[in-house]
Amino acid sequence: MRSSTKLVVVIPAYNEEEMLPVTIPAMSEVLDRMVRTGKISSSSKLLFVDDGSKDKTWLLIQQYQQINDFVSGISFSKNYGHQNALLAGLNVSKDADVVITIDADLQDDINAMEEMVDRYLEGYDVVYGVRNSRETDTFFKRNSALFFYKLMDKMGAKTIQNHADFRLMSRRSVDALLQYPERNVFLRGIVPQVGFKSINVYYARNERKAGTSKYPLGKMIKFALDGITSFSTTPLRMIFWLGVITLTMSVVFIANTLIQHLRGNTSVGWSSLMLSIWFVGGAQLISAGILGEYLGKVFFEVKRRPRFNIAEDLYTNK
């Protein structure tokens, strides 16, 4: 029995010429298996989004499209970032009944896609791919990720712990997601807000087989800051309480100074003066930086610039 359910797998790719010859056959095999078992339509696609790569990534996508019916792709005019690449794939694949997003590095278990489709066929609109361990991560990355998820939770931003951007979404959940107009995109926080019936699928994460990570430390820190400032106003409240604490301490210091003056014990206190200046100055700079982060986000949002520009589209113009 053949299924009419069209699945599109959206795969961001940035300088992945080393991975694509491994990724495309492996993912094609999974799709072919699901087609043969009647879970998805034979019109299902692997939609690669070339995020302004500087190597042969786009050329390889074009070549594979000629010999592999599953392969299609779009190419950005420049690098717009991972989250915008995911959104572009969701925008372009409007004829899909269900969409799975996954990275090109094969670190996420591609065999879990079949279980995701099974959960979708059971009636779930959103299926999150969740890592069951972080044994393949370095000590720093494992603990920094744990800290990030706990921090997001404390600040009131709902995320799925140990879930990146490996997920399945039904047509109606994708349509709901695309109604969110913000330019500062953090999909891990937005998707849970969309709602609909959801479930987790657990898998073991693999090591990258070729190429290099596209998320070095600098990008990871920026990504974490974007997530926090896009979904929580807690840092702004922290500025207020920092001001309250500083003011309270100042009153205590003033009272102590007056008491010591009345007792005749006053003396020039260079150390205490320097500590006070450094403390207040540091607090002011941190506060200004947090306010600047939020103001910068407002600055980019009000401009309403396009999230991305597509230079070539093999999916729509097939």
Instruction: Please tell me the predicted confidence (pLDDT) of residue 223.
Output: 59
Instruction: Please tell me the predicted confidence (pLDDT) of residue 49.
Output: 94
94-126 pLDDT, tens digit each: 999 999 999 988 888 899 999 999 999 999 999
Instruction: Please tell me the predicted confidence (pLDDT) of residue 180.
Output: 84
Q: Which two tokens stand for residue 306?
A: 């396009």
Any idea which of 12-16, 86-90, 167-171, 253-257 has the lowest mean pLDDT? 253-257
223-248 pLDDT, tens digit each: 556 655 565 556 666 666 676 676 66
The strand pairing partners of 46, in sequence order, are: 9, 71
Mean pLDDT computed over every residue of the chain: 79
Q: Which amino acid is at 65?
A: Q
Distance in angstroms (rounded) separating the CA atoms of residues 229 and 267: 45
Question: Of all residues in the chain, what percent carry a pLDDT higher than 90?
Answer: 32
- What is the mean pLDDT of the segment spanning 56-80? 92
Q: Read off the pTM.
A: 0.69
- What is the mean pLDDT of the segment spanning 11-30? 92
pLDDT at 271 over 90: no
HSE-up (13 A, CA, CB side) for residue 170: 17
Instruction: Please tell me the predicted confidence (pLDDT) of residue 58.
Output: 93
The confidence band for 137, taking pLDDT boundaries of 50, 70 and 90, is low
Instruction: Please tell me the predicted confidence (pLDDT) of residue 10.
Output: 95
Q: Which amino acid is at 213?
A: S
pLDDT at 273 over 70: no
HSE-up (13 A, CA, CB side) for residue 202: 4
3-state percent helix, strand, coil for the chain, nearest multiple of 5: 50, 15, 35
Of the ranges 60-64, 143-147, 291-295, which is most confident? 60-64
